[in-house]
Structure 1
Amino acid sequence: MTVLLETRGLSKNFGGLKAVSDVNFRVEKGEVRAVIGPNGAGKTTFVSLISGRIAPSAGTILFEGEDVTELPAYARVQKGIAYTFQITSIYQNLSVAENVALAAHQPGGRASLEPLARVGLADRASQIAGTLAYGHQRLLEVAMGLALKPKLLILDEPTQGLSDAEIDNFITLVRDVARDETVLLIEHNMPLVMELAHRITVLDRGSILAEGTPQEVHANAAVQAAYLGTG
């Protein structure tokens, strides 16, 4: 397998707090990788470092073998890294289709049709984005990410606010996306993680606690004690 993303000694300090501490991490092309961990484990800080939203205190980020540590977020998007935020970042006063077209830098609207169809929002293309239910706003964000045609799609808590039926559709969507793109998934929904992920990385207090297949992670005593509430 080809390594798409790698971090070496990646760290981020906020004052005296080590939010991410010396993380060595590799994602192979074509996999669905989940990053899980308790609140405050450093998950969102970690993916913010990968996407270029914040700068690391130490360490290196490689994408397709190229050092992108110093690149700003927009340049990483151009390289193929798309990040959908934990808090929705849509353009509230524009239509659903206009949001996606803007994300794709193709203001004509046609670029929005396929991504919206993939996330199940094609019938809401003309609706003002700010009037969507919260769960649908999350799906719109995913469509905006897909419109960028990324090599790596980072999804931060994408099922927050989705109904059970929408989560089932989301599972189908991620499997479809993973045929063409690599997916890095930050998610609290453990059944979904266990069903979707090829491999799981567990963060705790900014460091990697465990890594492996869903079965290996679920059976790990340290993970059960720190995260799953057992053991």
Structure 2
Amino acid sequence: MTLLEARGLTRHFDGLKAVDGVDFDLEEGEIHALIGPNGAGKTTFVSLLSGRIPVQSGTIRFAGRDITRTPAHARVRAGIAYTFQITQVYGALTVFDNVALAVQSRHSRRLAEDTTEALTRVGLEARADQIAGTLSYGHQRLLEVAMGLALKPKLLILDEPTQGLAQGEIETFKDIVRGVVPEATVLLIEHNMDVVMDLAHRITVLNFGEVLATGTPKTIRADKAVQAAYLGDPHAAA
């Protein structure tokens, strides 16, 4: 079943075609990776999906309804959670309270239980009373994922979540993502190709704001156009 469907999605900035007529589908319960060179339009594209940036043209349907003009906060309530490329935690609050705010936003009657459950899933339950701003960068990224999970989303969008993570934390992260599906669908924007190839069921490659290719990891790895634009670049993972 298709969870999200974008058709002709477009967003230009002063002549820059950040996203240019993109068609895109997400299937329920899949891990779908979005990759491409720096400046390919990945973050702009997911910002259109989450409602943080308005669409200039095209349509977005989510769970059977048109959300093209739906504001970001209403998309969160509809089941879209987006964790940002730059960590967005409340530094002055405890780890527990950061996640509790996310739980509270969906009016859960199990505030403490749901908060603890989300922290446990990312391995931060022992740090529940720590002030979030004193966490390492890697732990702040995991806290952000916990906040996303606490929303119980249908779609969890993760924007470069392994950036700044140590190798052991990356392994933990991969286990977390595998545990999210099939309860939720994951859209992963990621520069670490080992993570992408290990986790993704399907991959979409963006280049100059357009879809260059979509397919399984094996198909994408063998695609000559993708190799030329991205995978063959020794600086692609930078």
TM-score class, shorter:
over 0.9
The residue aligned with 1:64 is 63
* Whole-Å separation in 2 of the counterparts to 1:49 and 1:70: 10
Structure 2 residue 138 is matched with structure 1 residue 138: no
Structure 2 residue 220 is matched with structure 1 residue 217: yes
Please report how far the alpha carbon of residue 110 of structure 1 lies from its aligned counterpart in structure 2 after TM superposition: 3.5
Q: What 5-or-longer segments of structure 1 have no aligned partner?
A: none
Runs (4+) of structure 1 exceeding 6 A deviation are none
Cα distance per residue 1:137-158 (max 9 Å; x no partner): 0000000000000000000000
For 1:53, what is the secondary structure of its paired residue?
Answer: coil
Please report how far the alpha carbon of residue 56 of structure 1 lies from its aligned counterpart in structure 2 after TM superposition: 0.9
* Whole-Å separation in 1 of the counterparts to 2:207 and 2:112: 42
- Would you say the 8 A contact 1:100–1:143 is kept in 2? yes
Taking the TM superposition and a 5 Å limit, the aligned residue runs for 1:51-200 are 51-105=50-104, 108-200=111-203
* Whole-Å separation in 2 of the counterparts to 1:183 and 1:5: 11
* Whole-Å separation in 2 of the counterparts to 1:23 and 1:166: 33
Query: TM-score, normalized by length of structure 2?
Result: 0.94
For 2:115, what is the secondary structure of its paired residue?
Answer: helix
Query: TM-score, normalized by length of structure 1?
Result: 0.97
The residue aligned with 2:232 is 229
Please report how far the alpha carbon of residue 129 of structure 1 lies from its aligned counterpart in structure 2 after TM superposition: 0.2
* Whole-Å separation in 2 of the counterparts to 1:206 and 1:23: 8
For 2:162, what is the secondary structure of its paired residue?
Answer: coil
- Would you say the 8 A contact 2:28–2:182 is kept in 1? no
Please report how far the alpha carbon of residue 102 of structure 1 lies from its aligned counterpart in structure 2 after TM superposition: 0.6
Q: What 5-or-longer segments of structure 2 have no aligned partner?
A: none
* Whole-Å separation in 1 of the counterparts to 2:63 and 2:113: 30
Please report how far the alpha carbon of residue 230 of structure 1 lies from its aligned counterpart in structure 2 after TM superposition: 5.5
* Whole-Å separation in 1 of the counterparts to 2:183 and 2:67: 22
* Whole-Å separation in 1 of the counterparts to 2:182 and 2:210: 30
For 1:104, what is the secondary structure of its paired residue?
Answer: helix
Identity over aligned pairs, percent: 64
For 2:37, what is the secondary structure of its paired residue?
Answer: coil
Cα distance per residue 1:57-90 (max 9 Å; x no partner): 1100000120001110010001000000000110
| Superposed CA RMSD | 1.3
Cα distance per residue 1:78-126 (max 9 Å; x no partner): 1000000000110000000000001122695433100000001011000
